[in-house]
Amino acid sequence: MGVRWEQVVIDAHDPARLARWWAEALGFTITYEQPDEVEIRRTPEVLPGLVFVPVMGAKAVKNRLHIDLRPDDQEAEVERLVNMGARHVDVGQGEQVGWVVLADPEGNEFCVLRAKEQ
């Protein structure tokens, strides 16, 4: 029996808006869009995708699952994402860590890691 990772589903107050934000942040494209579901992928053929679906209530607690991004330049990437509408958040990570915790426009936390050492 084989299995493959198809997608991560993200609850959103405004799925289309949040999908477009993440597509821009990641350099992905929208591969499917309906009022109740929007999927983005690097390219239509490449898995996994991120699927955004509607929920009624606002996000209330820290995510149980989050995305880690590893850019070539952490500081530049954090600045770019903040300029796009992300914000810094404190989830208890402390001061001396190698990542920056941000939240997307709907408050979903994600981390921007340092570049990998060669």
43-53: per-residue pLDDT in tens?
999 999 999 99
Structure tokens at 18: 């949040």
Residue numbers of the chain with a pLDDT score lower than 70? 118
pLDDT attached to residue 118: 65
The answer as to CATH 3.10.180.10 being correct for domain 59-118 is yes
Q: Please check whether the domain covering 1-56 is classified as CATH 3.10.180.10.
A: yes
What is the predicted pLDDT for the residue at 11? 94
Same fold, 1-56 and 59-118: yes
Domain ranges of the chain: 1-56, 59-118
Q: How far is it, in rounded angstroms, from Cα 19 to Cα 9?
A: 11
Give the global pTM.
Answer: 0.90
* Assigned token pair, 20: 């477009």
